[in-house]
Structure 1
Amino acid sequence: MVMRKTLEQLFNKLSDHAPDISFEVQFWDGKRSSYGSGKRQFLLTFATKQAAEHVLESGSLGFGEEYMSGDIQVEGDFRQLLRFGTDAAFLNLPLGLKTKLAFQHLRQTSLNTLSRAPKHIAHHYDLGNDFYKLWLDKSMAYSCAYFRHEDDTLEQAQQQKYEHICRKLQLKAGETLVDIGCGWGGMLIYAAKHYGIRGVGCSLSKQQVEYATDLVKREGLSKEVSVVFEDYRKLEGRFDKFVSVGMFEHVGKQFIPVFMEKAKSLLTHGGIGLLHTIGEERSMPGDPWTLKYIFPGGYIPSLDEIARTMGEAGLVPTDIENLRLHYAKTVEEWCVRYETHVKTIEKMFDASFVRMWRMFLNGCVINFRYGTPRLYQVLFTNGLNNSLPLTREHMYRPIAPGSVS
């Protein structure tokens, strides 16, 4: 009785904060409570009392684990429920001591040391190329796309993202480009084919490196592009341009200064670099469920952390763009494709995995639309560069039909 009353008080608060959401909750004893005044958008069911206890004790970690196990069920619009995960009433639930200690231990064991980093990357990115092929675009871009128009396809938007980055970097034929955390190679291949660069990329995912190496060969770019299985901290050389897309979130708070120093050492003096990363306006504690199940070792930096550590390394930020809504739209496209293939994915893994990734992907959509995460593209130079264009016009010149495909 006390447990249900506590939950009802929580749902009343959440409903007051989002009156446009109408929903029902079914408790473990079969009783139901309704919230909101419109047509029901979802039904949330606690199959067991223990599931409810876990949520109140552990917040998002408890909810995620109970949803994965099937003891929390959602019928209807899952995203409307996940909106409550961005509400202070839920975020500020007083976590139990056991949960606090577990989260502290999780953070301590998630440091991206040279020995741990490969394991953290493999946990997420070595789930199998066949899995990612099911819902990513043809270039296997696992990062925010760039939608020039509302009706752009995911394929178009990812190619436009590559083009947008190339323009910001002012790439020229014959220049050298290093790509830290190059994924399946899409950025380097685009830059080599469209701008005539010579590039080197690194990744700690064996499956990504194998895929990218094979793709480079099939594209006839083996002399222009190489992809290596290497930690960014061990990469050597000097390059005209630097790019890192969707990798910085795996660096970890303690290693941000190391990353910036490495970027400086790889980039020629005056050279241009671009950091494409999820970030926030202010430091947040992070989500324990995501850290445990999705991105071990992950850390979302604040914008001031990025700018400050760049400055301390002698890197000069020159342009910052927030593509938050582009990322929300990107993940919405991923969600559609993911749901199309859930039966295949369940055969590849299991039902718990399907629910875990459904929660992760839809949670990303909601966080980018209603929460604190942003997507920053931070352009910078190694030291001062007095030859930069005075305006951004070079980034937005018209694209010839068929030139980005």
Structure 2
Amino acid sequence: MTPTQAPEKKEQEIITPSSPNWSDRISHLPTGERYLYQLFSLIKEGNLTVINPAGKVFHFGRTDILPALRLRVRNPGTYDRVLAFGALGFGEAYMEGWWDEENDNLIELLGLFYRSNVYAKANQRVTIPLLFKVLTQRLRTLPTQIQNSRKNVQYHYDLGNDFYQLFLDPTLTYSCGYRIQETDSIEQMQLQKYELICKKLALKPGESLIDIGCGWGGMLIYAAENYGVTGTGITLSDEQAALAKERIKAKGLSDKIKIEIADYREIKGQYDKFVSIGMFEHVGKDSFATFMEKTSELLTPDGVGLLHTIGTEGNERIGTWTAKYIFPGGYIPQLRELTQELWGAKLSVAHCENLRPHYAETLKYWAENFTENREKIALLGETYNEKFLRMWYLYLQSSESSFRYGSLHVYQLLFYKGKQWKLDYPLRFS
């Protein structure tokens, strides 16, 4: 080597499941790390590189597939978290900053885990610590009692209106939008969703509409302004109710819309039309029948209602990480359970639509807004620290991935009370 020549840089060895003596190559690794790589060996149609804290490189899947995902593990504690707590531990490790996807492509990383059955395999390993943690969480947040439902809702929705305003659209709608054109903004998608629901309900001037889980009042405001109805909104969130009332007053609709802080089981009266958007996921399995019976009670003899809810085709109703950090007490229904309980309450299904791809696009907008306003969110107070920001970003990204690649769907079920469905409008709603 001459003085002007630089020494050759030794190429980093990449270890793969197809490497000679793969089992021997990973046998010396700590148990948790070895377990994770065994899970990743399920990846066949994907392209994942893992860099461990010592700088060793492992590859799973194929190198000719895009996107090329790079999981960098910074803290070796990640492996033991996954070994002990599965997907819950993986999410907690991300919150702590122990790992990242180097291109910030969490959606495709988590999607790869869905498609390769990594999540399902990991969740089959229920250790004693995980079982104890999950059972404790479930017992703490069972939604059968009204006080527990109130606590669970306030945990998520009373984070502060300022926070939600920084990633939702101007209508403050926190549920799946409805995309008609690829160029639709998130606000257009939400207004189109409201219009779709109004058409399905065949709203008419002078009719009364009750909205269970009304959020910040977006649905009722749209229906009152565009269809001339009167409305009552029900929420358990003090923060939502306060801002909803302000928005209604600013629109000059206080004589048409009222907001009540109450549990759905406490509501009295009857209404021509019923709607519930994105609330049923908080009801709890043992309260499905109660919700449907109350819905029937709130409708006039010939009333019509629409239930908009996330549903699942899987057996897991809510992930352990989501149940602990995002939606305590949540329980996602299967479609057959919805139709069965509607039937049990003598409510007949008239129409069902699956908006799954629309929710993936909605979440994409929310995550973009969240990222754009991340620094502003951090300035809201001590609650919104780096751990919180990583937690919420993971929630938005993992939710989008679940709707694109997992078992989550979102259904709109139109139903009616009474023997006859009075068809005075076309079946095409959009």
Q: Give how far 1:389 is off.
A: 4.7
Residue 98 (1) aligns with residue 129 (2): yes
Question: Aligned partners of 1:84, 1:52: CA distance in 2, in Å?
Answer: 19
1:28 aligns with 2:49: no
Structure-2 change in CA distance of 1:58 and 1:84 (3 Å) = farther
Structure 2 equivalent of residue 56 of structure 1: 83
Unaligned runs of 5+ in 2: 1-28
Residue 149 of structure 1: how far off its partner (Å): 1.2
Which residue of structure 2 lines up, in the alignment, with residue 402 of structure 1? Answer: none
Letter in 2 for 1:89: V
Identity of aligned residues (%): 41
1:316-335 counterparts in 2 under 5 A? 316-335=348-367
Q: How much has 1:283 moved relative to structure 2?
A: 4.1
- Post-superposition CA distance 1:313-367 (Å, at most 9, x none): 1111110000000000111111111110111222331111111011100111110
Distance 1:152 1:78 in 2: 24
94-103 or 362-371, larger mean C-alpha shift: 94-103
The answer for the alignment partner of 1:337 in structure 2 is 369
- Which position in structure 2 is the counterpart of 1:235? 267
Deviation of residue 75 (structure 1)? 1.2
Task: Say if 2:416 is the partner of 1:381.
Answer: yes
Query: Which deviates the most, 93-102 or 206-215?
Result: 93-102
Between 281-290 and 264-273, report the one with greater CA deviation.
281-290
Q: Contact conserved, 2:280 with 2:309, CA < 8 A, in 1?
A: yes
2-side partners of 1:353 and 1:2: how far apart?
30
Is this contact kept in 1: 2:317–2:333, CA < 8 A?
A: no
Aligned to 1:78: 106
Alignment pair present for 1:224 and 2:251: no
SS at match of 2:147: coil
CA-CA distance at 1:383 after TM superposition: 2.5
Which residue, 356, 367, 370 being the options, matches 2:402? 367
Which secondary structure state, in structure 1, belongs to the residue aligned with residue 146 of structure 2? coil
Please identify, of 103-112 and 365-374, the stretch whose mean Cα deviation from structure 2 is larger: 103-112
- CA offsets 1:13-64 (integer angstroms, 9 cap, x no match): 12x1xx2x32321113221112331377332122232211111221110011
Residue 36 of structure 2: aligned partner: 7
Aligned-partner SS, 2:337:
helix
Change (3 A) 1:285 1:221: closer
Write out per-residue CA displacement over residues 208-240 of structure 1, whole angstroms, 9 at most, x where no aligned residue.
Answer: 000000111110001100011111110111000
Match of 2:25 in 1: none
- Equivalent positions of 1:87-236 (< 5 A) are 87-93=116-122, 94-112=125-143, 113-236=145-268
- For the 8 Å contact 2:317–2:332, the answer to whether it is kept is no
1:28 alignment partner, SS class? coil
User: Alpha-carbon deviation of 1:242?
Assistant: 0.2
1:257 paired with 2:289, answer yes
Contact 1:132/1:140 (CA < 8 Å) preserved in 2?
A: yes
Native 8 Å contact 1:24 1:42 kept in 2:
yes
The more displaced of 101-110 and 298-307 is 101-110
> 1 CA distance for matches of 2:272 and 2:425?
20
Mapped to 1, the partners of 2:83 and 2:252 lie a distance apart of 56
Over 6 Å off, 4+ runs: none
1:272 is paired with a residue whose SS is strand
- Aligned Cα root-mean-square deviation (Å): 1.5
Q: Which amino acid aligns with 2:140?
A: T
1:358 aligned partner: 393
Per the TM alignment, residue 6 of structure 1 is displaced from its structure 2 partner at its CA by 2.7
On the 8 A contact 1:56/1:95 being kept in 2, the answer is no
SS of aligned partner of 1:162: helix
Give TM-score scaled by structure 2 length.
0.88
Paired with 1:385 and 1:281, the residues of 2 have a C-alpha distance of: 31
Quickly say closer, same or farther: Cα 1:99–1:282, change in 2 above 3 A. closer
Is the aligned partner of 1:37 residue 2:63?
A: yes
Aligned counterparts of 1:102 and 1:70: Cα–Cα separation in 2:
22
Number of residue pairs aligned between Structure 1 and Structure 2: 391
Q: Supply the distance in 2 between the matched residues of 1:182 and 1:370 (Cα, whole angstroms).
A: 29
Q: Say which is worse superposed, 208-217 or 81-90, in terms of deviation.
A: 81-90
Separation of aligned partners in 2, 1:46 and 1:268: 58
Q: Which residue of 1 aligns with 2:26?
A: none
The more displaced of 339-348 and 329-338 is 339-348
Aligned letter for 1:70?
A: G
Indicate whether 1:312 and 2:347 are aligned. no
Matching of residue 279 in structure 1 with residue 311 in structure 2: yes
Using the TM superposition, name which of 342-351 and 384-393 deviates more: 384-393
Counterparts in 2 of 1:282 and 1:25: CA distance versus 1, 3 Å: closer
Deviation digits for residues 43-90 of structure 1, max 9, x if unmatched? 212223221111122111001111001112221122221114424233
Q: Is the CA contact 1:197–1:224 (under 8 Å) kept in the aligned structure 2?
A: yes
Q: Secondary structure at the match of 2:102?
A: strand
The 8 Å contact of residues 145 and 157 in structure 1, kept in 2 or not, is answered as yes
Using structure 1 for the length normalisation, give the TM-score: 0.93
